[in-house]
Every structure is written in C-alpha cells, then in structure tokens.
Amino acid sequence: MKLIILSIILAYCVTVNCQDACPVEAGAPSSTPTVPTSCEAKEGECIDTRCATCKRDILSDGLCENKPGKTCCRMCQYVIECRVEAAGYFRTFYGKRFNFQEPGKYVLARGTKGGDWSVTLTMENLDGQKGAVLTKTTLEVAGDVIDITQAIADPITVNGGADPVIANPFTIGEVTIAVVEIPGFNITVIEFFKLIVIDILGGRSVRIAPDTANKGLISGICGNLEMNDADDFTTDADQLAIQPNINKEFDGCPFYGNPSDIEYCKGLMEPYRAVCRNNINFYYYTLSCAFAYCMGGEERAKHVLFDYVETCAAPETRGTCVLSGHTFYDTFDKARYQFQGPCKEILMAADCYWNTWDVKVSHRDVESYTEVEKVTIRKQSTVVDLIVDGKQVKVGGEDVSIPYSSENTSIYWQDGDILTTAILPEALVVKFNFKQLLVVHIRDPFDGKTCGICGNYNQDSTDDFFDAEGACALTPNPPGCTEEQKPEAERLCNSLFDTSIDEKCNVCYKPDRIARCMYEYCLRGQQGFCDHAWEFKKECYIKHGDTLEVPPECQ
C-alpha cells in the first residue's frame, strides 16, 4: 500500500479573473473566502472589498491589476516579467501598463553590468493600418545575434544566417533556443547564462523574465528591475525617451473598444475561454482585441487571439519547487509536503520524459529529525555534487572552484551564500545555501514531463504526491510545541509573518507559514527560529527579488 506523506494541496483560485491569486484557506466556509474572489473593477474601484483600490490605468474598468506593493488579489508566486502584447500594450517589470505604437527601434532590456546583452524591438507601420506593430525582436549576447521575425513560420536567424539552427534545442555560445510545441502553435524560448528567459509567442508578442540575480542590473523600456513603483518612467533613459508618445489614442479607436468591435472579439475569443487553463482575464483581452481590430482589422485582431490562447495554454515563465526547513517541500504546482526520512538520493525532481536531468537529495539523521546532507544534480553523464559539510562542490567526482563553467553548465555564487547551478539547454536552475534551502527552477519545455517529490509540472496540484513505499524508513516527526514553548513560538512567528510581508513577498497561505516557523522553533529553539528567518529571507529574494530584514533577535 502506498504511503502518501503529509500533504496539503492548494486549490486554485476560484475565479478565472484573478491571476496568480491565493486559494481560499483550508477549512474556511466557501461562502466567506478569506481572499478576493474577483479582480473585476468598475470606475477604477475593485468590486470585491477584499481587494485594494487599484490605480486608474488604461482599461481600469474591467480588472484590478496585481502589482507588487499594490496588491488587489494576493498572489501565490509573483513571476517577474515584462511583456509586449499584440495590441501595442507594454507591461514593465513592476507592472505598469501603457500603450505605445511609434515606428522605430527600441531597447526593451539590456544588461547594465558588463553590457554584454540586450533585447531590441523593431516596430513598423504596416500598409493600411494605424499605429505600429512589433515586427522583429533582436537578442545580442556576448557577440552572438539572434533575430526573431514576428508572425512568420520560421522566425529565427542566428548571426545573419551564418549559424543555421540545426537542432531543438539549439545552443550557441551562452544562448539556448528551444521551440516548445503546444497543440495548435509553438513558442520560441530563448535563455542564456545571465538567467534571462525570452518567450517569443506566435503572433506579435514577447515576454522577458529575468532571474532575481539580475536585480538592479537591467535598464530599458521594461525598467530597472528594482521593483520600485517610483522608478518607472522617472530615471531610465529609454523609458523617458518614449514617454511623450505613450497612451496616444487614435481617431475612432478608443482604448475601451467600439461596441461593435467588442462583440466581434467576444465571438472570436469565446470558444477558447472554456479551455483556458491559466487564470487569464478574458475581459482585458477582449478590449485589447477590439482596439487592435479597429487599428488593423482581422489580421491584428488575430494576433491578440494568438496572445490570449498562448497565454492560456503556456505555463508561467518558470516552475519553482522549494525545499526548506526540516523538511518542507513546495511543489511546482504549489502543493505542500513535510517529509522526514534519512533517504539516500531521494528523487526531488527529474525530467521523466527524455531522462536528460535529475536532482536528488540525501538526508542524514540528526537526533530526532533529518536534514539535508548532499544535493546531486545530473545532466546527461555530468554529475554535480553539492555537499553540506565544508560546502564542497564536485563535478564528476572532482573538486572545482567557484565560479565554474564547462560546456552547458555554469556554477556561481548569488547574493553571497546561495550557490546557483544553471544547466542549459535543459533550462534547469538549482539554488542551494548549503543548509536547508534548496530551490529548483524549470522552464516550460518540461510542462507535464517531470516527476519526483516536486511533482508533475502540469499546473494541477491534485496529482502531486510522494510515494514513499520502499524509499526509506521514515523518521517520526518530533513532538509538537510544548505548552511552555507555544506562547514564545507564536509571538516570534507571528511577528516574522506580519502584514508588511504581504506587500513584499506576497506570502500565500500564511497560517501554514506560521506553523512551519513554530515547528522550527519548537524543534531547535531560538537557533531554529533564526535559521528559519534567514532562510525565508533568502527564499523571498530568490522568488521575488525582495530584500527583508531578519528579526532583531537574529541579527
């Protein structure tokens, strides 16, 4: 009989209108959800009183936007990304949305340290249409130039055609290009060792998602990645240059859409709404489609439809699985487990389709509980061992110095004490602090093709479970908090996860977070609490780029 380890499965948002919203907390009556059930807005105000009041913005009627620091619906995991949409709308890293349709070439994002990469957009006016549309995206990385022509069947040219794309995935220099096949269309995914991911969607849309390791090291129309609302369109030269020409309306084509155009777009998009597996705001895309239809007819409206369908079908920019504390797992699909057992090389995550990589974790006994002893990362025949004792790093059984780079593997320190191992073209990133924080990021080429305790990455938490049968002898969890420990544990942990956290790390399911914190305190006292606080600080930075202060007791 299979033993399924303690798991708490997170339900998805109960509405399709709330992107990345937290689930209703377990045990809460369905009629009185503890988080907003709608992101809809009217006259600039959120309909659901549990949402914050959103800034008036283009299309503020119809939706409340999730924004760091101005959250309308709490988010389980905020993925930092900048988007260029088919109707001419841009979204910065912070979340500011604006419309821009001036012909020319513009820097979407560039590296400001070393200056060895950039993403440039070409926008052109097409005959018979108003405004301008995205026709080409150009990525330059360390001397290699990748041109992506939008809205054609074979869009990729490398170094002017001198380097033909002969494989999928295809790697040149620091860059990996993968064409991800999704029923009905393809998405071109480009990633390089700066941990910048670029998705080229099938119509005229682009999204760029940088790892938080790039915080403060990017400039361009997308912003500076400082995640500071006050910085957007105040300091960046590329943003300031286009500011006079943003949000310009065109005669006869209001941003809110003409009624007849809205009806046309509803009919165009409605068949895809029922099969949309992501929490995408249908009303927003309907208005974008109506605006595009007025500007350029059926062809431009079709590209908004592509954008909607692709965003509905494609996963978030990357999946994230986290091991923290003693020993809690958050899967790619946001299910949660606590697992205690001195297993040797327990499978954390793996590519179970092509068998190109896997991540395994070894535990060891420490009195009445277990903790991480070693992390092993395999890519084809290359094996990387990260050993806690002495912070040893071995590749192929041999000690290596950091930073390390060989073929498609790069290993370096991030934020002082987080070792990052990036493996391309498999687009696998592993981050480990040599204590009890291990983070695995994967890209959407593995959508639905992974296994291990991190689960099958398919945006469905209900099939995430860990089969421990025969894996190892489980170590019983130590007793819970004693009556003497409980008051101090509650005081410390409630102060760690106070309301100020909501606006930074967007902590989802806070009662569970507090319970984990109390578990660590009651397990190891003040040291356990402080280790937990420091690891949460690192987790927050890795996921969201936010910098937190640890409690005074731990400084």
Between 378 and 447, whose confidence is greater?
A: 378
Range of 66-75, 320-329, 441-450, 517-526 with top mean pLDDT:
517-526
Between residues 478 and 150, the one the model is more confident about: 150
Closest CA to 3 of 358, 446, 340, 335: 340
Instruction: Tell me the mean pLDDT in the region 454-471.
Output: 71
CA distance 238 to 92: 12
Q: What whole-number distance in Å separates Cα of residue 388 and Cα of residue 361?
A: 11
| pLDDT the model gives residue 171 | 81
Selection from 198, 18, 26, 236 nearest residue 119 by Cα: 198
Q: What is the pLDDT of residue 343?
A: 64
Q: 88-102, 233-247, 538-552 — which is least confidently predicted?
A: 538-552
Counting residues of the chain whose pLDDT is more than 70, the rounded percentage is 74
Domain residue extents for the chain: 82-245, 259-313, 320-472, 485-554
Give the range among 114-123, 311-320, 478-487 with minimum mean pLDDT: 311-320
Amino acid at 175: V
pLDDT tens per residue across span 154-171: 788 999 999 998 887 788
How would you write 483-507 as a 3-class SS string? CCCHHHHHHHHHHHCCHHHCCCCCC
Q: What is the pLDDT of residue 32?
A: 37
Q: How far apart are CA 22 and CA 29, in angstroms?
A: 15
In sequence order, the 6+-apart residues with CB closer than 8 A to the CB of 550 are 530, 533, 534, 537
Calculate mean pLDDT across residues 374-398.
92
Is 50 exceeded by the pLDDT of residue 296? yes
- The SS3 of residue 302 is helix
**Strand blocks (E) in 309-390:** 319-324, 328-330, 336-338, 346-351, 357-366, 369-379, 382-387
DSSP helix/strand/coil, 198: strand
Confidence of residue 268 (pLDDT cuts 50, 70, 90): very high
Token readout for 209 is: 């998602």
Residue 16 is predicted with a pLDDT of: 27
In terms of DSSP H, where are the helices of 92-216?
none
Residue keyed to tokens 């012909």: 103
CA atoms within 13 A on the CB side of 489: 22
Tell me the average pLDDT across 385-402: 93
DSSP-derived 3-state class of residue 283:
helix
Gap between the terminal Cα atoms of the chain: 47
- pLDDT interval class at 314 (50, 70, 90): low
Distance between CA atoms of 153 and 140, rounded to whole angstroms? 22
237: pLDDT strictly greater than 70 = yes
Q: What is the pLDDT of residue 243?
A: 93
What is the arithmetic mean of pLDDT over 266-275? 90
How much is the mean pLDDT over the chain?
77
pLDDT category of residue 270 using cuts at 50, 70 and 90: very high
Which pLDDT score is estimated for 19? Answer: 35
Q: What pLDDT score was predicted for residue 304?
A: 93
Helix and strand counts by DSSP (H, E) for the chain = 5, 32
Strand ranges in 211-332 using DSSP code E only, listed in sequence order: 218-219, 319-324, 328-330
Strand order in the sheet with 156-158: 156-158, 144-149, 133-141, 117-124, 104-111, 218-219
Residue whose structure tokens are 């869009």: 155
| Phi-psi category of residue 223: left, alpha or beta, with phi > 0 → left and psi -120 to 50 → alpha | left
Would you tell me the crossing angle of helices 486-496 and 510-544 to the nearest 10 degrees? Answer: 40
**pLDDT classification of 114: cutoffs 50, 70, 90:** low
Q: Report the pLDDT value the prediction gives residue 18, as an integer from 0 to 100.
A: 32
Class of residue 117 by CB neighbours under 10 A (exposed 0-12, middle 13-18, buried 19+): buried
Q: pLDDT for 183-218, tens place per residue?
A: 666 677 777 766 787 877 777 888 888 877 787 889
User: In the predicted model, is pLDDT for residue 74 greater than 90?
Assistant: no
